[in-house]
Amino acid sequence: MVILEVKSLQKVYTSRFGGASVKALSNVSFAVEDGEFVAVMGESGSGKTTLLNILAALDRPTSGRVVLDDKDVSAVRDSQMATFRRENLGFVFQEFNLLDTFSNRDNILLPLVLSGIGVRQMEQRIGPLAKQLRIDGILDKFPYEISGGQKQRVAIARALITQPKLLLADEPTGALDSRSADDVMKIFQGVNRTGQTVIMVTHSVKAASCAERVLFIKDGEVYHQLYRGEQTDEQMYQRISDTLTLLTTGGDAE
Amino acid sequence: MKMGYYAKLAGSNLIKNRRMYLPYILTGGGLIGVYHIVNTLHRDERMDAIRGGSFLRSIMGYGVIVMSILAVILLLYAGSFLMKQRRREFGLYHVLGLEKRHIACILFFETLYSMLSSMALGLLLGIALYKACTLLVCRLLQVETIFGFYYINAGTLLATLVFFAALYALTFFGNCLHIARLKAVELLQSAQVGEREPKVKWPLFIGGFAALFGGYYIARTVDNPLVGISVFFIAVILVIIGTYLLFMAGSIVLLKWMKKNKNFYYRKRHMAAVSGMLYRMNRNAVGLASITILMTSVILMISATSSLYVGIEDSLKKGHPYDLVMRYYYYETAADGGKVIRALPEESMKEALETAAAENELAVSDVRSQRYLSCAFLWHDGRLTGDRSVMDGTENMADAMDMLDSIAEVVFITAEDYAAMTGLTIPLKNNEIAICNLSKGQLPTGRVLAIDQEELRIVKELEEFPVDVSSMLEVNIITQSYGIVVSSEEFQALYKMQKESYGEYASEIVTNMLCNFDDDSAAAEAQDRMRARTDELLRPMVKEAAEGEVVDDAIAFYWDSKYDTEEAMLETNGSLLFLGILLSVVFLFATILIIHYKQIQEGYEDSGRFKIMEKIGMTEREVRQTIRSQMLWIFFTPIAVAMLHNIMAFSILESMLKLFYLQDVRILIACMGISFAVFLLLYVIIYHITAKEYYNIVHERSVYGVSYFDR
């Protein structure tokens, strides 16, 4: 079943006084199956941040549509946007974006509090999730008391607690050392195995090699994609780096 | 060239940071303006020409001292606040290659600019409003304005400017020192380095509670104003300590308790606010406590001074049932060779008064005499006693203070006089009395009042007593006082009895002449002439009336007119009210500045947090609500506590104001209520301005960072 469908997205930025216009996305189309783990790769300026902003319902496309679970995202009214995001999407950021005034538990519970969910249900949800992400021992500590890897796991828990249709991750390993990065990628794979759809934007070949499919974006278009199939992480790594070499040297893909 | 560059940079810095510098310049201007006004009033010799002017000048002398202290505290506080907020900016300059002395150079120009703008604003305000202030003073003192328009005294102007220039110089050097001590990396580092969640400090909490309730207890229980003044300071200090400790520890206890209550805490309106406040409470507590103390003092100050002023008329009415009270005494040698005091015959006094009034073309009415005997007794073993041996045991002050509470002042009048003054007759036998409780003290239990060997049976309790006792200072200090109506024979018996007990300290029977004037303003104007003429008329009568030989020049002429009292009250109470208004305005400024800066600082700190919350799905409306609920707490806790302090201080304030002849509690209640309402109104306005500012800070940052995934 297709959970996310992106149809011929185009995004043109025009400067305020109508001068030069910049085409960030020229024509992007792809579909994501329910339970898929997709990595989006591309160089700086390739348009992947714009794509992610549009997927996050934060920015509106100039033309084209984003359909999440049969619902047209661009048709959601501005006033409903925050609620829509909170109910349907989970976010993981490079800089964790945890609030240091909250304990880790409260950071994770915040989206539920915003949705007005009762205390009992919150407690029911946080227990198994914390166990799964191995953060049950640090729930009552504060973000400034734990390591970067732990912070990212808390952030993942915060993204997952609303049981989102789509988990969007932006360079989730960008601020982590290699060991914590591996650890976090294992977590993503584990979360994905439980059926969670994940879309991750990354520069890191290592991180991308954990995904089932990798989309390459260049000059505002989907330039190429790779499927994992039966390959191991290592084989996937090799293919991704070959593709990236091609991408940057300008040759045609395969 | 180079200097010009720094000067330009400094100018653009001020404009860029106008959110912080505008309040700074306004506060500086306000302080300079008010300081200048107070200082000019203090030095303006033209003030001596108006009634009460010289008293106002001397009071303004204290005003100058208070203003100086306040100006030093506020400007240094604001200066160091600005420095702390701009640390990163200076760090950036440093990294870009400006040396510390260059930064000092920029600082110099910034300080210079803000000083010059504040001075310009302040002098403009000071000079423009000086006229308004003198008008207000004249109105408060109820004298005619005699001044021309603007008054500029070069010496005063210079003194003001020099004082503030020194202050700004001090701020500048303080800031340079601050910059010099910082390291480049530290300059760049943002302020937040994982502040720990504060722990509950139980000893502080318990200590705070004890201090606060100790202070409240003292304030509520002391009703003797003489004891009150000495104890009042202890109560004030206890309450201040309690306020600080409870804001430091109590707030944390309260917030932690809120946090523990999950159904309350996990609500979108409470969660961010509660944890945000808890996180910052270590830093905030002192500021909030200071704001509370400032507000408490503003409300106390303005309600005390305004009720004294408003109460003038009422206390005149109560203190002077008759427009004029007069007595005339002389001393003559007695048969045994000693001196005795004698009053002139009532007819002579009446005649002299009426003559003097007629000569001054004043119509008098209700001219009558009044006799009373006022003496003090001690409550001892359930009876009043004049036995001096009971008192002899008390040698130190503390015992004497204790004894104050058991002193009762008793005013006796005869039933004839009572009937003459009130038109009511009370038939009284020799050992029977009618009693009026003039104080909050206890009436004797049972129907018998024992005064030494006399056993007096109470046959009637009176609601009102016709003798003007409130003008006697003793009655205001002494907690128990009674007015007693007795038969003429009993009156004489009591007089003799106390004469025997007290000997040379005994009281004499007072004979007063009372009268009313038909035309108040004419009477007020003619008081001095009336008084002199009456004296002139009465002096020769002493010789005629004397039975023995008159002791030379030993004449006691007592003249207490409503008009003289009114003038004196207007003079002191009007001056006090004016000072109260000025200081309240300045204190209010101080409160507003501190709370405004506090919120701006928090806005900058919170903008990152709200950005994160928006990222994970908080709507703009929810951000507004959270901000509002957080700000409501920060703003209105101090004012609620200040209100509580004032309510607790009410009774001690009331008894102290009695010393200044404030009679009617309702005036104090009304004045306090109105001051409070006005203060609250201003405060709500400031709250709205600050909340908007805070929201803009939070909002503009998240608007600029529109992309969620933007770095």
pLDDT at B246: 92
Which of B196, B609, B618 is the closest to A82 by Cβ?
B618
Say whether residue A97 is in contact with chain B using an 8 A CB cutoff.
Answer: yes
**Chain B residues inside the 8 Å CB shell of A85:** 617
**Chain B residues inside the 8 Å CB shell of A144:** 194
Measure the CA dihedral B344/B345/B350/B353, to 10°.
-20
Report the C-alpha gap between B87 and B178 in whole angstroms: 10
Rounded (5°) CA angle A202-A204-A208: 70
Q: Give the residue carrying structure tokens 């106002």.
A: B56
Helix (H) or strand (E) holding B245: helix B225-245
pLDDT at B473: 46
Burial of B507 (C-beta count, 10 Å sphere; 0-12/13-18/19+): middle
Task: Please check whether residue A192 is in contact with residue A37, taking contact to mean a CB–CB distance below 8 angstroms.
Answer: yes
pLDDT at B701: 53
pLDDT at B207: 93
**Chain A residues inside the 8 Å CB shell of B614:** 82
Say whether residue B275 is in contact with chain A using an 8 A CB cutoff.
Answer: yes
Structure tokens given for B47: 């003030």
pLDDT at B404: 67
Number of H helices, E strands in chain A: 8, 10
Reported in sequence order, the residue ranges of B446-536 that DSSP labels E, i.e. its strands, are 448-451, 454-462, 480-486, 509-517
Are B615 and A91 inside 8 Å of each other by CB? yes
pLDDT at B708: 39
pLDDT in tens, B384-400: 877 766 666 555 556 66
Amino acid at B509: I
Total length of chain B:
711
pTM, entire model: 0.76
Are B707 and A91 inside 8 Å of each other by CB? no
pLDDT at B394: 55
In a structure prediction context, what are the per-residue pLDDT tens digits for chain A, which is 254 residues long? 888 999 888 888 877 666 678 888 888 899 999 999 999 998 877 788 888 888 888 788 888 889 988 888 878 887 788 888 888 899 998 888 898 888 999 999 999 998 888 899 999 999 999 998 999 999 999 898 898 899 999 999 999 999 999 999 988 988 889 999 999 999 999 999 999 999 999 988 999 999 999 999 888 888 888 898 888 888 989 999 998 888 777 655 44
Say whether residue A31 is in contact with chain B using an 8 A CB cutoff.
Answer: no
Q: Suggest the residue from A11, A49, A83, A99 to mutate for an interface test with chain B (most B CBs closer than 10 A).
A: A99
Which of B194, B197, B617 is the closest to A114 by Cβ?
B617
Structure tokens given for B374: 């006022």
Nearest-CA residue of chain A relative to B705? A58
Per-window interface: A 122-141 vs B, CB < 8 A: 122
Report the C-alpha gap between B583 and B60 in whole angstroms: 11
DSSP letter for each residue of A99-152? -TTS-HHHHHHHHHHHHT--HHHHHHHHHHHHHHTT-TTSTTS-GGGS-HHHHH
Low-confidence ranges of chain B (pLDDT < 70): 1, 146-150, 184-196, 223-229, 337, 388-404, 440-446, 468-479, 553, 701-711
Distance from CA of A217 to the nearest CA of B (A): 17
pLDDT at B551: 76
Find, among B375, B367, B467, B463, the residue nearest to B417 by Cα. Answer: B467
Find, among B289, B258, B236, B36, the residue nearest to B156 by Cα. Answer: B36
Which of B616, B707, B710 is the closest to A110 by Cβ?
B616
Find, among A167, A230, A233, the residue nearest to A194 by Cα. Answer: A167
Are B609 and A144 inside 8 Å of each other by CB? no
Distance from CA of B180 to the nearest CA of A (A): 30
Are B275 and A94 inside 8 Å of each other by CB? no
Largest CA distance in chain B: 112
Q: Give the residue carrying structure tokens 């001393």.
A: B331
Say whether residue B269 is in contact with chain A using an 8 A CB cutoff.
Answer: no
Find, among B407, B406, B427, the residue nearest to B416 by Cα. Answer: B427
**Chain B residues inside the 8 Å CB shell of A106:** 271, 275
DSSP letter for each residue of B47-87? GGGSTTHHHHHHHHHHHHHHHHHHHHHHHHHHHHHHHHHTH
Q: Give the residue carrying structure tokens 């010789």.
A: B543
Task: Please check whether residue A76 is in contact with residue A88, taking contact to mean a CB–CB distance below 8 angstroms.
Answer: no
Task: Please check whether residue A193 is in contact with residue A224, taking contact to mean a CB–CB distance below 8 angstroms.
Answer: no
Report the C-alpha gap between B386 and B398 in whole angstroms: 21
Distance from CA of A101 to the nearest CA of B (A): 6
Say whether residue A102 is in contact with chain B using an 8 A CB cutoff.
Answer: yes
Q: Suggest the residue from B267, B708, B710 to mutate for an interface test with chain A (most A CBs closer than 10 A).
A: B708
Find, among B14, B1, B28, B16, the residue nearest to B106 by Cα. Answer: B14
**Chain B residues inside the 8 Å CB shell of A112:** 266
Distance from CA of B709 to the nearest CA of A (A): 7
